[in-house]
Every structure is written in C-alpha cells, then in structure tokens.
C-alpha cells in the first residue's frame, strides 16, 4: 500500500488516459472516474474530441461502404470489416470515457466497485486495443498464407470463409481475456478515486513485459516477418507455363484458343494488381500501428521494470496522442490507398472522386471461397 500511495503522489496511473491524482491534490472535479474535463487544457479536450469523432465517423463510413457494396465481400475484406468494427467501438468508448462526467465512488458499494474495475479503469478500452492488435495479426497471417502457400490456401479458402465469423469473435474475446488482470488490481480509495494497486513490483514487471509483448513486440514481429517474406515472394518473376504445341487446327479454333489465353492472362494480371494493392495497404496499416504505439509501449515497458516516467510531462501526453490517433488512421489509409475500397466508395455514394483507378477488383467477383481464376500462374485469392 505504501508503494501505491507514493505512485499517487507522483501523479501516476498505469495504462489509463486520465492521470491519477493523489490525496493532496484531488479536487471535486477530479475525484472518481469515468472521464470528464477535469483540469485538462482546452487543446487537449479539442484533440480528444477530434480524434474520437474522426474514429467514429471514419470507421463508420468504412463499415457502410463494405456492407453497402456486396462486390467487396471477400476473405481479406471480412477481416478489414472486423478491424473497422473494433476501431469504431473503441472510438465510441473513448469518447464516453473522455467526456462523461466523473463520479465520486463509494468503496463500500458493490456496484461502485464493479463500475470502478470495469469502466473507470478503462478496461473496456484497453481490451479493445488488444483485440485490434490481434485482428491485425489475423489479417497479416491471412495474406501470408495466401501469398506463400497459394495452393493450400485455395484448397482451404472455402472452409476459412465459413470460419471468419468465429475468428472475428475470438479476436474480440481474446482482448478481454488477455487484459483481465487490469480490473482485478483496481480498488476504490477513501478519496473516492479508482486506481490500480499492484501487490508487488515483481508482478508489475512480469505483467508489464507480457503487455508489451501482446500489444506491440509480438504483433510487430509477426507483421515484420510476414511482409518481408511476402515482398520477397512478390518480387520473384512469375513463371508462366508455355502453351503446348498443338496439331493442325482450323483458324477458328486457333483464334478462340488465343482469345482464351489472352483472357486468362488479363484476369491473372488483374488479380496480381489487386493482391499487390492489398499488401501495400496492409503494410501501411501495420507501419502506422508500429509508429503510433512505439512511444507509449516502450515508455510503459521501462516504467514497469522500475524506470522513470514523468506522467505529468509533455512527452507522456504526446505518446498518448499517438495511440489515440491510431483509432482514426485506418479509414484515411483505405481512402488514399485501397483501390477496392475507393471503387466501393464511389459506387456506394454515387460519386467520382478518385482519379487514375486501375481495375483491381476481384476477377472472380469475390467468390466466397476466394478461388482464383483457372490457369493463372500467380492468381492469389483475395
């Protein structure tokens, strides 16, 4: 308990958005939890509102386009839909946490204790962040299998398509399971505030390393390895089987054969362009995630291992802004890079705003199985 009171006097909160205030400087507006304006600078309030609203509107728009345009229904887009749904929910929860008024909590009330541990602790928010990280890993592994093992991927694509919903539910649930320690260590203090109370420094260090791995180091390692292999595979020239010599044939059959080969070649090129565009988009998403999460991930790793961290300093505030910004980054990436989404956006809103779009639509019309066109030498299912 002595260790925790010293943390309070240093204005410290582990993995919370609103800094915890100590017994010597708690004001009526800062007691308890649940967000609110407190003593935040106006620029901070404006940034939180802007990021939260952009996250809700941007991810809501992405969901609308994908559900409106049925031609976008394919395997990888199913994972992108789940990513946008997680980010949409996280943005909404973020706004509620930031701007709902704070309440003074009663340490003797069971309802207040539950409210403290589930909501005021921001357990919901950080569990959703973990779910978002895990879903990015699922997208990465899906693309890795599609590019590196295309034959096996095609043969199992129909089965995987049927299991997308189950995988999506598992990513949501896993975030809440992996972060379940967080509400368990929260308590209500006599001041009415809800703060984490670590049993000992060793446990804090162990869990700190675990959180660093599952929220940053682990996902980043999987993404880095997978995309390096994918880019290496895509740089290799495609090997196309030479047409077998045929006996004498009529001019009509020769012309039909050439037309069929030309059609297969066009479909293969379209599919390859679409594959490269998806990979380029998801690499950008992964890099954005790596940049936005790096400062706060390393800050908290050092802090939980016993190092210094100024929770009231400007640098700490900047690291939180980076994490918040990741909530609304993906819709901008899809809009600027993902040509399937751009075409779906134009069809959904009946506008023409994207110039120079090449045809990167799925030549198979997004069959559920993701099975590629027959005869394509590098036709990777989307």
pLDDT at residue 297, as a whole number = 93
Whether the per-residue pLDDT at 196 is higher than 90: the answer is no
Average pLDDT estimate for 312-319: 80
Beta bridge pairs of residue 33: 103
| Mean pLDDT, the chain, integer | 78
Q: Give the count of alpha carbons within 13 A of 50, CB side only.
A: 9
- pLDDT tens digits along 342-366: 999 999 998 888 876 655 444 334 3
Burial of 174 (0-12, 13-18, 19+ CB in 10 A): middle
Where is mean pLDDT largest: 8-12, 152-156, 169-173, 316-320?
169-173
Please, what is the Cα angle at 55 between 103 and 87, to 5 degrees? 90
Give the chain's domains with CATH numbers. 2-236+263-349 (1.20.1070.10)
Confirm if 119 and 102 have CB atoms less than 8 A apart. no
- pLDDT tens digits along 220-245: 999 999 999 999 888 876 555 455 55
In which element (H, E) is residue 171 found?
helix 150-178
pLDDT at residue 239, as a whole number = 54
Across 104-118, 156-170, 204-218, 236-250, least confident range = 236-250
Across 20-24, 38-42, 85-89, least confident range = 20-24
Residues 66 and 69: their CA atoms lie apart, in Å, by 6
Residues 183 and 113: their CA atoms lie apart, in Å, by 10
- pLDDT tens digits along 331-348: 999 988 898 899 999 999
Whether the per-residue pLDDT at 194 is higher than 80: the answer is yes
Please report which confidence band the pLDDT of residue 76 belongs to, taking 50, 70 and 90 as the band edges: confident
Beta bridge pairs of residue 188: 194
Q: Dihedral of CA 280/281/286/288: which sign?
A: positive
Residues 75 and 24: their CA atoms lie apart, in Å, by 55
pLDDT at residue 273, as a whole number = 77
What share of residues in the chain are helix, strand, coil (percent, to 5)?
Answer: 65, 0, 30
- pLDDT tens digits along 272-315: 777 888 889 999 999 999 999 999 999 989 888 988 877 677 78
The strand ranges marked E within the chain are 186-188, 194-196
């Amino acid at each position: 308990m002595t260790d925790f009171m010293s943390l309070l006097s240093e204005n410290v909160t582990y993995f919370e958005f609103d800094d915890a205030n100590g017994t010597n400087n708690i004001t009526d507006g800062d007691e308890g939890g649940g967000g609110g304006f407190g003593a935040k600078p106006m620029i901070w309030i404006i940034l939180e509102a802007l990021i939260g609203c952009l996250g809700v509107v941007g991810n809501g728009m992405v969901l609308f386009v994908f559900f409106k345009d049925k031609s976008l229904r394919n395997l990888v887009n199913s994972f992108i839909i789940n990513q946008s749904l997680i980010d949409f929910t996280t943005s909404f929860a973020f706004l509620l946490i930031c701007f709902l008024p704070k309440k003074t909590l009663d340490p003797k009330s069971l309802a207040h204790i539950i409210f403290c541990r589930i909501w005021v602790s921001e357990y919901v928010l950080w569990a959703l962040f973990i779910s978002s990280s895990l879903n990015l890993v699922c997208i990465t592994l899906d693309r890795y299998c599609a590019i590196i093992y295309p034959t096996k991927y095609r043969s199992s694509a129909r089965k995987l398509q049927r299991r997308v919903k189950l995988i999506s539910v598992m990513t949501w649930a896993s975030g809440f399971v992996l972060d379940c320690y967080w509400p368990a260590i929260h308590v209500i203090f006599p001041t009415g505030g809800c703060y984490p109370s670590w049993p000992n420094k060793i446990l804090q260090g162990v869990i700190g390393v675990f959180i660093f791995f599952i929220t940053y180091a682990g996902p980043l390692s999987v993404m880095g390895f997978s995309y390096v292999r994918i880019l290496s595979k895509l740089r290799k020239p495609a090997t196309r089987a030479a047409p077998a010599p045929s006996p004498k044939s009529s001019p009509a059959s020769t012309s039909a054969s050439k037309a069929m080969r030309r059609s297969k070649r066009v479909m293969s090129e379209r599919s390859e362009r679409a594959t490269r565009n998806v990979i380029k988009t998801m690499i950008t998403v992964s890099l954005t995630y790596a940049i936005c999460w790096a400062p706060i991930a390393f800050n908290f790793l050092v802090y939980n291992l016993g190092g210094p961290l100024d929770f009231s300093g400007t640098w700490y505030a900047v690291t939180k802004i980076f994490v918040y910004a990741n909530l609304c980054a993906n819709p901008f990436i899809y809009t600027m890079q993902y040509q399937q989404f751009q075409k779906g956006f134009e069809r959904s809103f009946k506008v023409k705003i994207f110039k120079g779009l090449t045809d990167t639509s799925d030549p198979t019309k997004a069959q559920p199985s993701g099975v590629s066109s027959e005869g394509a030498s590098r036709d990777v299912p989307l």
